[in-house]
């Protein structure tokens, strides 16, 4: 969850030297928002966890991840023979969902982690899905090439959120749809606690399944902490050349799907 401490307004009535204020200040100082790792560190982390990425995803989401990717493709609505780009494709599960749902569309997945793409390669073989290894902050793609873009659990990992959204706006044609599927901060306390507990369990399980990558999964809750709220993300998407059409909350608000149209 985003760090609520950083948003606390101590207010003018609080005496700066009162005990409560001091404790609060210490707490605020000791719980800074986790810093964003450098892009190279993020790439290396995904390369390291690639061998067990798919297994962890399906075990820990109880298969819900595939349903959510399908939902994202459904909302992206590429024309039947149009072009869809899966940004931060990883092991290409969203691209595969797009291929199944739109057999005549051209589907391309892009990611900078070579090992994630190596896992994707046998899955997409014979499926007519293009895979490109590239940094999504500088896509090697022409302007206005795609009719639809979908990004599943990728935006949160971009070292520069703004640059990533601007790049997606650049390669999407006017009127094309962008769908962002991401974790989000639940609005009420109970789902937030459930999500916190789930991530605790997640980290432990991943520690067992993927000892080499276990560090990567302390990164998961931290990356959600850092990520903008659903409303903030809507504003950001709006500032990058899109009009947000809908925000769909799923799984008690722990997942958000933003749908936007390129202006």
Ligand X SMILES: C[S@@+](CC[C@H](N)C(=O)[O-])C[C@H]1O[C@@H](n2cnc3c(N)ncnc32)[C@H](O)[C@@H]1O
Q: Under the rule (CB under 6 A), what is the footprint of ligand X? A: 39, 42-43, 46, 69, 88-90, 93-94, 111-113, 116, 135-137, 152-154, 157-159
Q: How far apart are CA 217 and CA 49, in angstroms?
A: 9
- Cβ of residue 180: shortest distance to ligand X, in angstroms? 11
- Cβ of residue 28: shortest distance to ligand X, in angstroms? 30
User: What does the radius of gyration of the chain's CA atoms come to, in whole angstroms?
Assistant: 19
Joined together, the tokens standing for residue 149 give 């873009």
Q: How far apart are CA 201 and CA 145, in angstroms?
A: 41
Residue 260: which residues within 8 A CB-CB, separation 6 or more?
A: 177, 178, 179, 180, 237, 238, 242, 243, 244, 245
Q: How far apart are CA 135 and CA 140, in angstroms?
A: 8
Specify the residue for token string 């009719």. 147
- Please say which residue, 39 or 194, places its beta carbon nearer to ligand X: 39
- Please say which residue, 10 or 203, places its beta carbon nearer to ligand X: 203
- Please say which residue, 42 or 168, places its beta carbon nearer to ligand X: 42
Q: How far apart are CA 234 and CA 221, in angstroms?
A: 21
- Cβ of residue 145: shortest distance to ligand X, in angstroms? 17
Q: How far apart are CA 192 and CA 35, in angstroms?
A: 22
- Cβ of residue 243: shortest distance to ligand X, in angstroms? 24
- Please say which residue, 89 or 234, places its beta carbon nearer to ligand X: 89
- Cβ of residue 181: shortest distance to ligand X, in angstroms? 8
- Please say which residue, 111 or 147, places its beta carbon nearer to ligand X: 111
Among all residues, whose Cβ is closest to ligand X?
90
């Amino acid at each position: 969850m985003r760090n609520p401490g950083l948003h606390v307004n101590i207010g003018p009535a609080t005496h700066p030297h009162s005990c409560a204020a001091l404790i609060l200040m210490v707490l605020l100082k000791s719980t800074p928002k986790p810093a964003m790792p450098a892009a190279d560190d993020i790439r290396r982390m995904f390369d390291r966890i690639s061998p067990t990425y798919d297994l962890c995803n399906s075990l820990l989401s109880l298969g819900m991840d595939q349903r959510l990717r399908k939902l994202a493709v459904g909302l992206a609505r590429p024309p039947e023979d149009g072009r869809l780009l899966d940004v931060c494709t990883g092991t290409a599960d969203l691209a595969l969902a797009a291929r199944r749902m739109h057999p005549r569309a051209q589907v391309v997945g892009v990611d900078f982690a070579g090992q994630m793409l190596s896992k994707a390669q046998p899955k997409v073989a014979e499926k007519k899905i293009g895979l490109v290894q590239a940094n999504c902050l500088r896509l090697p793609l022409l302007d206005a090439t795609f009719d639809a873009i979908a990004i599943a659990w990728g935006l949160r990992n971009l070292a520069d959120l703004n640059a990533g959204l601007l790049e997606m706006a650049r390669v999407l044609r006017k009127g094309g749809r962008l769908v962002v599927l991401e974790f989000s901060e639940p609005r009420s306390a109970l789902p937030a606690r459930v999500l916190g507990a789930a991530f605790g369990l997640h980290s432990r399980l991943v520690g067992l399944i993927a000892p080499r990558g276990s560090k990567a999964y302390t990164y998961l809750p931290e990356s959600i902490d850092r990520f903008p709220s659903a409303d903030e993300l809507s504003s950001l998407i709006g500032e990058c050349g899109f009009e947000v059409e809908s925000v769909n909350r799923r799984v008690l608000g722990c997942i958000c799907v933003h749908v936007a149209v390129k202006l």
